[in-house]
C-alpha cells in the first residue's frame, strides 16, 4: 500500500521557522494537502495542491514541493501553531492517503 | 455555514455492529461527495470510505472492505456508515468530511466508536 512518511516530531522556538516534510514515491506527480489538528479538535485544511493556502490561514504558512518530498513551512512560529500536522495525497486508485503525522512543539 | 454533525458512536463488543450518521446543512448536499475518515486514540488520520453525489459509486479502504457500507439519503441530507464485524482496531473517532475544489475542506466534530470486550 502507498505510504507517506513524516517525521514524528519537530521542535522550534517562537519566532523561528518550522519545516515539516512529507515523502512519498508518487508525490512528484500528485498533489499534497496539509492539515493542522489541535487536541480535541477536528483537522483543518491549511495548504492544498502543494502550495495554495486555504482561506483564513495566516501567511506564515506555506507549502513547497521538490520531487518526491513536499514541505510545510511555518515562518515566525507562534505558540498557537503547536499542533499535529498531517500531509495527505492520493494512491494509484485515487483513494486518500495520510502521512503518520508530525507533532510540532513550540519551545 | 457548512455544518456536518456525526452521531451514532457508542461502545460495543467485538463482533458487534453500529450505524453512524452524518447530517449536513449549509450547502446543497446532493452536489457533493462525502468521506469518512477515522482516528484511533493517539494515532493519525486514516481514510475509510467515500460516496459520490447520488450514491451510485462507493469505495473503501482495504481494512474495512466487506464489513463497512457507506450510503446516503439526499432527501434527508444524511450520510450513513454501517459498520459490522467490529474489532478493537476499529476504535476511534469517525469524522464525516465534505470536499471541495481545495480538497477535504469541511470536517464534522466526529463521533467516538469504542470496541472493547
- Tell me the per-residue pLDDT of A84-100, one tens digit each, with 9 for 90 and over: 999 999 998 889 999 99
Residues of chain A found within 8 Å of residue B44, distances taken between Cβ atoms: 84, 86, 98-101
Residues of chain A found within 8 Å of residue B102, distances taken between Cβ atoms: 45, 48-49, 52, 54
- Tell me the per-residue pLDDT of A5-41, one tens digit each, with 9 for 90 and over: 999 999 999 999 999 999 998 888 899 999 999 999 9
The number of beta carbons lying within 10 Å of the beta carbon of residue B96 is 28
User: Could you tell me which chain B residue has the CA closest to the CA of A44?
Assistant: B105
Q: Quote the pLDDT of residue A93.
A: 87
List Cα–Cα distances, B75 to A30, A100, B86, B96, in angstroms.
Answer: 35, 37, 29, 18
Cα A84 to Cα A105: distance, rounded to the nearest angstrom: 9
Q: Identify the three-state secondary structure at position B44.
A: coil
The number of beta carbons lying within 10 Å of the beta carbon of residue B71 is 13
Distance from CA of B40 to the nearest CA of A (A): 12
Q: Quote the pLDDT of residue B29.
A: 97
Cα B90 to Cα B83: distance, rounded to the nearest angstrom: 9
Handedness of CA B29, B92, A72, A33 (dihedral sign): negative
Q: Quote the pLDDT of residue A15.
A: 97
Please determine, for residue A1, whether its predicted confidence score (pLDDT) is greater than 90. Answer: no
Residue B41 grid cell:
486514540
Residues of chain B found within 8 Å of residue A84, distances taken between Cβ atoms: 44
- Tell me the per-residue pLDDT of B24-64, one tens digit each, with 9 for 90 and over: 999 999 999 999 999 999 999 999 999 999 999 999 999 99
Q: Quote the pLDDT of residue A28.
A: 85
Look at chain B and count its residues: 117
Q: What is the mean pLDDT of residues B94-101?
A: 97
Whether chain B has a CB inside 8 Å of the CB on A99: the answer is yes
Q: Quote the pLDDT of residue B9.
A: 98
Could you tell me which residues of chain B have a Cβ less than 8 Å from any Cβ in chain A? 35, 37, 44-47, 50, 59, 61-62, 95, 102-105, 107-110
- Tell me the per-residue pLDDT of B61-92, one tens digit each, with 9 for 90 and over: 999 999 999 999 999 999 999 999 999 999 99
Cα A2 to Cα A24: distance, rounded to the nearest angstrom: 8
B46 contacts A42? CB cut-off 8 A: no
Burial class (CB in 10 A: 0-12, 13-18, 19+), A72: buried
- Among B34, B26, B23, B110, which Cα is nearest to B75's? B23
Q: Identify the three-state secondary structure at position B22.
A: strand
Q: Where residue A77 falls among pLDDT bands split at 50, 70, 90?
A: very high
Residue B98 grid cell:
465534505
The number of beta carbons lying within 10 Å of the beta carbon of residue B106 is 21
Residue that wins the pLDDT comparison between A26 and B114: B114
Residues of chain B found within 8 Å of residue A101, distances taken between Cβ atoms: 44-45
The H or E element that residue B58 is part of is strand B58-60
Residue A45 grid cell:
485544511
Amino acid at each position: 500500500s502507498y505510504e507517506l512518511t513524516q517525521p514524528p516530531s519537530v521542535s522550534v522556538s517562537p519566532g523561528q521557522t518550522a519545516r515539516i516534510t512529507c515523502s512519498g514515491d508518487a508525490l512528484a506527480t500528485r498533489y499534497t494537502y496539509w492539515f493542522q489538528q489541535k487536541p480535541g479538535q477536528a483537522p483543518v485544511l491549511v495548504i492544498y495542491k502543494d502550495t495554495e493556502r486555504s482561506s483564513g490561514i495566516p501567511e506564515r504558512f506555506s507549502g513547497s514541493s521538490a520531487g518526491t518530498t513536499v514541505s510545510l513551512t511555518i515562518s515566525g512560529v507562534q505558540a498557537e501553531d503547536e499542533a499535529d500536522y498531517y500531509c495527505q495525497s492520493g494512491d494509484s486508485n485515487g483513494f486518500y492517503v495520510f502521512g503518520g503525522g508530525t507533532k510540532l512543539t513550540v519551545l | 455555514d457548512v455544518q456536518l454533525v456525526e452521531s451514532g458512536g457508542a461502545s460495543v463488543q467485538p463482533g458487534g455492529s453500529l450505524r453512524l450518521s452524518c447530517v449536513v446543512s449549509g450547502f446543497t448536499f446532493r452536489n457533493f461527495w462525502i468521506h469518512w475518515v477515522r482516528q484511533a486514540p493517539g494515532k493519525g488520520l486514516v481514510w475509510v470510505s467515500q460516496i459520490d453525489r447520488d450514491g451510485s459509486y462507493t469505495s473503501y479502504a482495504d481494512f474495512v472492505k466487506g464489513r463497512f457500507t457507506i450510503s446516503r439519503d439526499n432527501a434527508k441530507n444524511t450520510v450513513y456508515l454501517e459498520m459490522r464485524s467490529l474489532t478493537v482496531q476499529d476504535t476511534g473517532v469517525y469524522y464525516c468530511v465534505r470536499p471541495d475544489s481545495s480538497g477535504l475542506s469541511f470536517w464534522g466534530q466526529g463521533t467516538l466508536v469504542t470496541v472493547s470486550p
